[in-house]
Structure 1
């Protein structure tokens, strides 16, 4: 290669700098990916989002459901995560568990239509994916087994149930419980073309001071291979997750499996692999080893609930996004971020949430982390009403074009 004169070298250097500047400007102008998760949770427990109350007619329930699906499409979302088993019950005709009380007001009463089947068909007609959201272990949001329908599995197997904190839970330390809840949930997978199965953050219950989850007998019977109860409990949840993933692939190979756990695995002060946070640790306190599920590729996607604002002193969104991106990097598990739309404009929340642009800033920040493949908003009621304008700001800033969900 011939030698360059000083002038030629300077011109070449300036040209290189100009090209770099153009590339930076092009990067800044680069449109959002047309393949990304844009989802919303549609909660049915305690009639949080839908139906708006119990006792509506079938036609009224359908009309409300369609309105939520229309709102999702109008916001250019592409996925609805519908809660179909909120409390050991069903929003489809199940041979395992009763019809949900949140439909008619009476557990076990047939609502006169098939909500899950209808939701799938209507979502697909609008170009939306439908993820079926199951709560594996929660039996009731009250402590009284006698309020359950007489034929309820928890009534027929009272030894499966642990009361805790004013609620009832199935005991995941019993192998027969894990088998039953998987069978009950997979009935829907076998019957319907569900795009994905979805678990949220409820595994062992969140700890309450002064309360103990009474699984002594199960631990004595089944925990012999473990040196401590915490490892045994984590193994119970790991088995539930791993077995669910395997059975979905057997029954309906095209259906994905995702989980939206609590946003902190462990704090760095506890484990150097953890995040720079000072928050509840899902690994230690609800026995959910979420990092392992990603690193060992047990699930197709993970959507940690990062329900904190940028700059939060205990759990900073801007510290947790890169931590989760690092966990997902190199794995086969896709990373989405759960967003706290419900906090926007709530006067009880921190000052950051009083700015309608806070959530939009979350998406802007996450764009610098290519492992983040999209966002999911809690929840449908706020997506539709958007009294504070936070969702409209997200759409205006980030969702000008439609996008297909990742596969």
Structure 2
């Protein structure tokens, strides 16, 4: 839902018009990029390849209602189809919408089920969508991040539909109306406590790989946001702008520390407005994170209360390139993962050409940003203007591992040992090995399997990765085509911070 607001409100038609300029800069920049394109096409071993799966209004999923056993199966099958296609294109990260507007897609003690699941607010779908998404992502070697919308609670109609289950009724003091919508009030110190209760449910009960905070900001251009009482009480000599930025920073700090205390490897990310502030040469044209919505993302990065940032860079030309570099320069070593507006490929949205997205992906790779996110997954599934084919055949030609998080942990697990290779039948080969060990018993290592026709198998080459996130100490190798079968194998251990051990090679 928050990305929907980004499309229809924050990223308004007038903004789109303002971002169409800069063609001369863009053409010049592309000429500069040409020598780098060949390098960029060489897929890196570590790269974030993410897609947002939007549940609100069933924009991406689900299309059917889970009101009968057959409906539950259809709803699950719809998600499986999405995940299968992402896996086939070598995506490795799914941002699964888990909280929308005061309602959720998991069994919560705090907020009701989203009505999109059953057609009824609070209706139990007969299974746990978040648990199912995590399990299916992990089966396919992909991470699953719980995408949680933070401050917005929906319009009056939506809030009314939640009835007494709405936080506006249960925790009325935390909520404020603004322009026909309701919001949690970042200026109330109890707001961060409420959000932490929701986050604690998700992190403690589910094997999530990340928590992705959306709309951790004030409404855009909101000088009359109704927080004057809290400002008088808590402002302590700050300007209201400083105070609002500090409110968001304190909320994120509290959530980050709470998550890390429970599970240090769980990635914490946000998706801020796509331009932090004006650069030295390029204006954000009145639309930026720092001034427009009070997000001090630079401060978040400097303090280290972010592992990843997915800036919503749904722009073209000089609205994209200099600001992408600006984010990278501000990264403090954290992962900068630009969100790409692939929805603009739809004629009804912006009718961008696929070349626009491809140039942005070349640029991201050439300048060594951590990867990219695609908003939304529907346009990948629909192969709008061939975007799915372009991504699968030109960019994500091999699997990629997650970039490491050395600021959390830089110690690799011990190497596995005793790799044995046993031919079975019909071209199947069973690999088995002795388990690796890790210093943190909560962070049991997983395994990456490599294969090649060269010995020893070069584990630095992504084209040799055949499986990742393997749990247990065996793997069944079954090449799709017999003539593509490889002769030699290697296995490494990897922890959830991305630290990889030396390899054990077949025949050792």
Query: TM-score scaled to structure 2, two decimals?
Result: 0.68
* Distance apart, 1:403 and its partner CA: 1.1
The one of 315, 320, 323 equivalent to 2:323 is 320
1:148 aligns with 2:145: no
Are the equivalent residues in 2 in contact too, given 1:336–1:373 (CA < 8 A)? yes
Q: 1:216 to 1:144 in 2, by over 3 A?
A: farther
Q: Secondary structure at the match of 1:100?
A: coil
1:212 aligns with 2:219: no
Structure 1: how far apart are the matches of 2:136 and 2:206?
13
Are the equivalent residues in 1 in contact too, given 2:152–2:215 (CA < 8 A)? no
| Residue in 2 that maps onto 1:336 | 337
Q: How does 1:93-108 map to 2 (within 5 A)?
A: 93-108=107-122
* Distance apart, 1:45 and its partner CA: 1.8
Structure 1: how far apart are the matches of 2:355 and 2:342?
11
* Distance apart, 1:27 and its partner CA: 7.3
Are the equivalent residues in 2 in contact too, given 1:306–1:337 (CA < 8 A)? yes
The one of 197, 213, 219 equivalent to 1:199 is 213
| Residue in 2 that maps onto 1:176 | 190
Structure 2: how far apart are the matches of 1:148 and 1:34?
46
Task: Pick 1 or 2: higher relative contact order, CA cutoff 8 A, min separation 6.
Answer: 1
| Residue in 1 that maps onto 2:243 | 232
Are the equivalent residues in 2 in contact too, given 1:297–1:332 (CA < 8 A)? no
Q: Secondary structure at the match of 1:103?
A: coil
Q: Secondary structure at the match of 2:329?
A: helix
Q: How does 1:235-246 map to 2 (within 5 A)?
A: 235-246=246-257
Are the equivalent residues in 1 in contact too, given 2:216–2:270 (CA < 8 A)? no
1:247 aligns with 2:242: no
Structure 1: how far apart are the matches of 2:366 and 2:162?
49
Greater share of strand: 2
* Distance apart, 1:291 and its partner CA: 1.4
| Residue in 2 that maps onto 1:112 | 126
Are the equivalent residues in 1 in contact too, given 2:176–2:185 (CA < 8 A)? yes
Unaligned runs of 5+ in 2: 1-34, 405-508
| Residue in 1 that maps onto 2:202 | 188
Are the equivalent residues in 2 in contact too, given 1:47–1:54 (CA < 8 A)? no
Structure 2: how far apart are the matches of 1:320 and 1:237?
22
| Residue in 2 that maps onto 1:369 | 367
Structure 1: how far apart are the matches of 2:36 and 2:201?
52
Structure 2: how far apart are the matches of 1:251 and 1:29?
38
Are the equivalent residues in 2 in contact too, given 1:148–1:155 (CA < 8 A)? no
Are the equivalent residues in 1 in contact too, given 2:134–2:144 (CA < 8 A)? yes
Q: Residue by residue, what CA displacement relative to the aligned partner does 1:222-251 show, whole Å, maximum 9, x if unpaired?
A: 22x133211111111001111111000111
Are the equivalent residues in 2 in contact too, given 1:87–1:141 (CA < 8 A)? no
Q: 1:36 to 1:288 in 2, by over 3 A?
A: same
**Equivalent pairs, count:** 367
Q: Residue by residue, what CA displacement relative to the aligned partner does 1:126-161 show, whole Å, maximum 9, x if unpaired?
A: 111101100111212445643323133321232321
Structure 1: how far apart are the matches of 2:81 and 2:201?
27
Structure 2: how far apart are the matches of 1:388 and 1:212?
42
Are the equivalent residues in 2 in contact too, given 1:341–1:391 (CA < 8 A)? no
* Distance apart, 1:375 and its partner CA: 0.7
1:398 aligns with 2:395: yes
